């Protein structure tokens, strides 16, 4: 690990080493979190295209790194003012660190037993705002919703144990309790 600049290549090398050494999600999250915070402070990876947003989706997803087997995906995601995601899980562990702006997060607890594949009852577990440099870490199965409640675009870096479009990721409708696959457009 370098002591000066901490580039995407440095970050990916450390991700590979950490996940080769352990499959324990608590350990992975505790080790990856500080590295993700360090990575976003070196803005050499940041490009104008990372501020391009899919208007229909309400946010832009830009691939920074993905292993050939779809593991260890690193994404830059921006959010338009007033836009966000439905409640969703990731199908893998996740480490998110804010780059610019503040994103509102709502964490959910599942109330049903999960026996119906297309059904889920959720209740709010907690809410918090995550600003630049702050971490949001989730184990596999964690459910949350992200919203940009500001007047400006926000940007965050997301690191996943597996690319989210290659997991059993789901989104949840709080009104109908419907659970369905959640795929996002990635640039």
Residues 120, 180 contacting (CB under 8 angstroms):
no
Model confidence, pTM: 0.94
State the pLDDT at residue 94: 98
Confidence of residue 1 (pLDDT cuts 50, 70, 90): very low
* Interval 21-79: pLDDT, tens: 999 999 999 999 999 999 999 899 999 999 999 999 999 999 999 999 999 999 999 99
Q: Which of 2-16, 17-31, 150-164 has the lowest mean pLDDT?
A: 2-16
Coil, strand or helix: which one is 44?
Answer: helix
Q: What percent of the chain has pLDDT over 70?
A: 98
Quote the DSSP letter at residue 118. T
Q: What is the pLDDT of residues 79-110, one digit of tens each?
A: 999 999 999 999 999 999 999 999 999 999 99
Residue 111 has pLDDT above 90, yes or no: yes
100, two tokens: 């610019």
Determine the average pLDDT of the residues in 137-152.
96
Average pLDDT, the chain: 95
Residue 180: CB partners within 8 Å, gap ≥ 6? 118, 170, 171, 173
Whether the Cβ atoms of residue 144 and residue 109 lie closer than 8 Å to each other: no
pLDDT of residue 3: 47
CATH number of 8-181: 2.60.120.10
Q: What is the mean pLDDT of residues 105-122?
A: 96
Domain boundaries, the chain: 8-181
């Amino acid at each position: 690990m370098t002591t000066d600049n901490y580039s995407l290549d440095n970050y990916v090398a450390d991700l590979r080493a950490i996940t080769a050494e352990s499959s324990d999600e608590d350990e992975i999250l505790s080790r990856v979190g500080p590295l993700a915070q360090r990575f976003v402070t070196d803005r050499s990876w940041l490009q104008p295209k990372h501020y391009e947003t899919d208007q229909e989706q309400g946010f832009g997803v830009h691939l920074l790194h993905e292993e050939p087997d779809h593991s260890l995906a690193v994404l830059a995601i921006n959010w338009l003012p007033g836009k966000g995601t439905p409640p969703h899980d990731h199908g893998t562990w996740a480490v998110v660190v804010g780059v610019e702006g503040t994103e509102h997060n709502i964490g959910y607890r599942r109330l049903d037993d999960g026996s119906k594949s297309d059904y889920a009852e959720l209740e709010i577990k907690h809410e918090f705002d995550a600003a630049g440099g702050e971490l949001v870490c989730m184990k596999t199965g964690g459910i949350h919703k992200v919203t940009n409640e500001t007047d400006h675009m926000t940007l965050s870096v997301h690191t996943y144990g597996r690319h989210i479009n290659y997991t059993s990721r789901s989104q949840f409708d709080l009104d109908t309790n419907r659970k369905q696959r959640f795929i996002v457009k990635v640039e």
